[in-house]
Amino acid sequence: MSSDAELVLKGALLPDGRVADISIAGGKIIHVGAARRADQTIDCTGQLCLPGAVDMHVHMRGGATQGYKEDWVSGSQSALAGGVTAVVDQPNTIPPLTGTDAFGARVAEATRDAYCRFGINGYVSGESDITGLWEAGALAFGETFAAASSYGGAVSPKELAQVFPVIADLGALVTLHCEDVLPGDDTSLAAHAALRPEEGETTCMEMVAAQFPPGLSAHFCHLSSPLSAAAAMTALPASFEVMPHHLFLSIEEHGTVPEGCCKVNPPVRYEKTRKALWEMWDAIPVIASDHAPHTAEEKSQPFSAAPSGIPGVETLVPLLLAQVYRGRIALSSLLEKVVYTPAHLLGIPVSTLLPGAPADLALYPRQKTETITADLLHSRAGWTPYEGMQGVFPGITCVGGHLSYRRNEFSRRDDLWLPGRGYKCTQAE
């Protein structure tokens, strides 16, 4: 029997306070109001419907050698179970995505395995084939390692000066990892933070910005302190992102996990800085996770041997939505930072929850938080630094109108790749 809608989500609360039926067909929202006749209707009474989040900074691992940490199946399922419907994968894979062969292989791997939408960025170095990567479908360039981090060697100012004009000419976005790394023994969270100081982030940002040609669209990754956020907002013509681990963890308060678990670049800071970063909430353009999974064994090594990086794609929205339910931040401000601004910066379609928009959305229990524990989560990392904290997790996540996550089960649909604007399909007709 033919019908107007394929799916109706009935009686959901919308971000603007209305309770409505959301009718979906052909991957899009076709009506918000009274339900259309439908093949399938799901009662969403008591559920808050939010647009799917865009996490613009994840490391999905996988490839030939890193699947034991995470792969596209586990990483994208983890995203969906946290209300994230699109992720942007960073190119510090093994091998890094400097050329079109490695890039094409990465797209093929994600196309085969991913359950959520994905964009893939091109790697920035003196050897990178920037134009080739852009035409192969890179969504953006970076994160660019202006300082060394896990699986990323530092790119010199000379190389940046070579590469930035090419990126500017293409009209592409470049994202930047800025730090100044001092020599010394990396034995604790406090020592790690001292060797990668807040001031060094700002100095490096200024050094990198000095190489910007006119018209370059630039975005600073994972700023850890109000000092660097203020620098991005005032002196430098760029957007920036802040991560949940810099808002929820600190050198003094890093939960029940070993210290090495909270080792990340840039480092978690002292309580004073963490609280001051919250004071800047309204001025932060983007929140992303820097989902960087490593196993519990790797992270339990002596601090200096533990790799840097924290898994976080699944807890990004839940942690922050719990803060909305507590009355600490406005829901509209959260949506700006995890949906609208990242989609706008990347130039990808945005799920506004209006008719015509892609039906990428998630349904969350109203006013009910849950205690976060690793057993709840889907990342292969198998641990979380947010153990014991409160989160609000979705029960249903739809991607293009498909029930991709429901009752803790996942279902895959095709056509999830988000190529960049430079994509030239080279396949034979």
Q: Which residues are catalytic?
A: 290
97 vs 324, which CB is nearer to ligand NCD? 97
**Is the separation of the CB atoms in 357 and 29 below 8 Å?**
yes
CA distance 139 to 419: 6
Binding partner selected for residue 309 from ligand NCD, Zn ion, none, CB under the kind-specific 5 to 8 Å limit = ligand NCD
CA distance 23 to 12: 11
Could you tell me which stretch among 108-116, 120-128, 145-153, 420-428 binds ligand NCD (CB under 6 A)? 145-153
> 405 has which bridge partners?
397, 410
**Is the separation of the CB atoms in 54 and 116 below 8 Å?**
no
231 vs 399, which CB is nearer to Zn ion? 231
384-197-223-387 Cα dihedral, nearest 10 degrees: 10
What's the closest the beta carbon of residue 228 comes to Zn ion, in angstroms?
A: 13
The residues that touch Zn ion, with contacts defined as CB under 5 A, are 143, 149, 177
CA separation (Å) from 361 to 289, 346, 406? 18, 18, 12
405: nearest Cα among 417, 393, 415: 393
Q: Which two tokens stand for residue 61?
A: 């691992």
Query: Which x/- pattern, by CB under 6 A, does the window 167-186 give for ligand NCD?
Result: ----------x---------
38 vs 139, which CB is nearer to ligand NCD? 139
Binding partner selected for residue 308 from ligand NCD, Zn ion, none, CB under the kind-specific 5 to 8 Å limit = ligand NCD
What's the closest the beta carbon of residue 108 comes to ligand NCD, in angstroms?
A: 21
What's the closest the beta carbon of residue 147 comes to ligand NCD, in angstroms?
A: 8
Region at 147 (left for phi over 0; alpha for psi -120 to 50; beta for the rest): beta
Q: Which two tokens stand for residue 390?
A: 């409160």
Cis peptide bond upstream of 95, omega within 30: yes
Query: Which x/- pattern, by CB under 6 A, does the window 62-101 give for ligand NCD?
Result: ------------------------------x---------
> 241 has which bridge partners?
286
Please tell me whether residue 295 binds ligand NCD under the rule CB under 6 A: no
Contact pick of 7, 12, 58, 59 for ligand NCD (by CB under 6 A): 59
- The helix or strand, by DSSP H or E, that contains position 372, with its residue range, turns out to be none
- How many chain residues touch ligand NCD (CB under 6 A)? 14
What's the closest the beta carbon of residue 406 comes to Zn ion, in angstroms?
A: 33
CA distance 277 to 275: 5
What's the closest the beta carbon of residue 265 comes to Zn ion, in angstroms?
A: 6
Binding partner selected for residue 59 from Zn ion, ligand NCD, none, CB under the kind-specific 5 to 8 Å limit = ligand NCD
Contact pick of 149, 217, 323, 369 for ligand NCD (by CB under 6 A): 149
Parallel, antiparallel or unpaired: strands 390-391 and 396-399: unpaired
Please tell me whether residue 290 binds ligand NCD under the rule CB under 6 A: yes
Tell me if residue 120 falls in helix, strand or coil. Answer: strand
Binding partner selected for residue 131 from Zn ion, ligand NCD, none, CB under the kind-specific 5 to 8 Å limit = none
The binding site for ligand NCD (CB under 6 A) comprises 59, 92, 143, 149-152, 177, 264-265, 290, 292, 308-309
